Amino acid sequence: MTQLLQPSSAINDLRTQAHLSLSARLQALDLTQLLIYTLTNAPASILPYLVWQWGMSVPAVAMQALGVSLLTIVQNALPLYRSMGTPSSIIDALSLCGIAATILEGQNSWGGSTYPSDQGWAAFRITANGIFFNSVTGALNGSNRVFTLPALPNSNSLRVFYNGVLLRPTTDYGVAGLTLTLTFTPDVLSNLGIVYRFGAASTLFMDAVVPTSDGTHLTLPHTPTSLLLYRNGLFQMAGLNPAQMSAVETIVNFFKPARCILDLIAPADYYVTGAVITPSTPPGSDSFIAWGTYVGSSATPNYADFELPGGTINGSNVHFTLAHTPNPTLSLQLFDNIELVKDVDYTITGTAITMVNAPGVGDAFFAFYRY
């Protein structure tokens, strides 16, 4: 094409020759770097104008509040507009914010009866899983069993909790790379949470911390970068705080189908603001205990994951032995029949554990600790 625009020697008009020469030069320029979907770098000063130009000003404020950069918003403007008004655009937009969304279409899909039959078909129930700590990606729709992990877990560190109960590897689920496959079908709107380690570890630890309670909130001694919170022995799922929920609602309302009746919920047990935990229901006299990490630097410890303590599980034996001495002792998390064992229900001296009540025959009895 460029060669066709070269001025012929037979053309004597200087203006025509100049025009054709300039056209040939422009034709040879690679303009793909200016395309919105190939943009990899741009001055920060022009990004707000690009966001405005591509009609993303409204959701951009909410997406930035959830940690998405303006450049990422610009890069994804065209793909999002291409599917705008469909459930997939909502899922994709929230995914950019680190939120795993599940969409149920029509109130019949969740057994609802809030809307008349001539309106219920247009109701969308959207669940948004928490972004403060990691969660799996995949639909909890009553039929799906396959989910995606956000990162490859280190060693054997992955723990999967279903409605607060620890699941058993192989028996309850299998993992291949980033793919988590359950051996059972989770219920609609159930909680599926994960705990794992990935990457290099250089952090400080909170071990067996009992948060202080004012009747409404729980307070930790440090702002957590990761958190395992148990309530009466059941693992608790982190969710979105009110500001995050407001941002999610803005995004959903922007990308939703025009006739969609929105039913937005966030099934979670608590949310965290700094070092303050707000449970979804008042703490009351319930027992809370937490393990977690916070910003700092320390030597990288060794970990024991899913260790089966030595000893016979026969319904009467209360004496068990760990492979290593937990360091510190409070790092030990002991599960009997897939629920956390309270520290008043056992004693530990070195590697020796003495249970108050013997694990039952067939119980899943696991230990997690640092040493």
Instruction: Describe the chain by its helix, strand, coil percentages, rounded to 5.
Output: 25, 30, 50
Last residue of a domain, one of 61, 82, 103: 82
- 35 in any annotated domain: yes
176 within domain boundaries: no
324 domain residue, yes or no: yes
CA dist list (Å): 27 to 8, 17, 20: 17, 15, 10
Classify residue 159: in a domain, yes or no: no
Stated pTM of the model: 0.74
Together in a domain, 10 and 63: no
User: Are 23 and 39 found together in one domain?
Assistant: no
Task: Check whether residue 2 and residue 47 sit in a common domain.
Answer: no
Q: Is the omega angle on the peptide bond into residue 309 within 30 degrees of 0, that is, cis?
A: no
First to last CA, the chain: 69
Q: Are 259 and 290 in contact (CB under 8 A)?
A: no
Domain end, chosen from 82, 116, 146, is at: 82
Regarding whether 368 and 334 lie in a shared domain, the answer is yes
Which residues are within 8 A (CB) of 170 and not within 5 positions of it... i.e. 6 or more apart? Answer: none
- Which residue, chain included where needed, has tokens 């469909």? 86
Residues 350 and 72: their CA atoms lie apart, in Å, by 51
pLDDT at 132: 45
Token pair in block for residue 231 = 């309530």
Residues 52 and 75 in one domain: yes
* Dist CA 346 CA 337 (whole Å): 15
Residues 2 and 24 in one domain: yes
For the chain, the domain total comes to 3
Tell me whether residue 115 is in a domain.
no
User: Phi, psi (5° rounding) for residue 180?
Assistant: -110, 120
Residue 356 belongs to domain spanning: 301-371
Cβ–Cβ contacts within 10 Å for residue 142, how many? 15
Residue 5: inside a domain, yes or no?
A: yes
Ordered strands of the 234-235 beta sheet: 204-209, 288-294, 226-231, 234-235
Same domain membership, residue 69 and residue 35: yes
Residue 14 sits in the same domain as residue 38? no
Among 345, 339, 340, 343, residue whose Cα is nearest residue 330: 343
DSSP state of 303: E
Q: Which amino acid is at 55?
A: G
CA 358 and chain centroid, separation: 36
Task: Specify whether the CB–CB gap between 155 and 201 falls below 8 A.
Answer: no
The DSSP letter of residue 28 is: T
* pLDDT per residue as tens, the chain (371 positions): 445 555 565 666 777 778 878 887 877 777 666 565 567 777 888 899 989 988 999 999 999 998 899 999 998 998 899 899 888 899 899 988 878 777 888 888 888 888 888 888 888 888 776 554 556 777 777 889 999 887 888 888 999 999 889 999 999 999 999 999 999 999 877 888 888 887 665 578 999 999 999 999 999 999 998 889 999 999 998 888 888 889 999 999 999 887 777 777 777 899 999 999 999 999 999 999 999 989 887 778 899 999 999 999 999 999 999 999 999 999 999 999 888 999 899 999 999 999 999 999 989 999 999 99
Inside any domain, residue 202:
no
Q: Is residue 140 part of a domain?
A: no
Q: What pLDDT is attached to residue 305?
A: 95
55 and 7 co-located in one domain: no
pLDDT of residue 6: 58
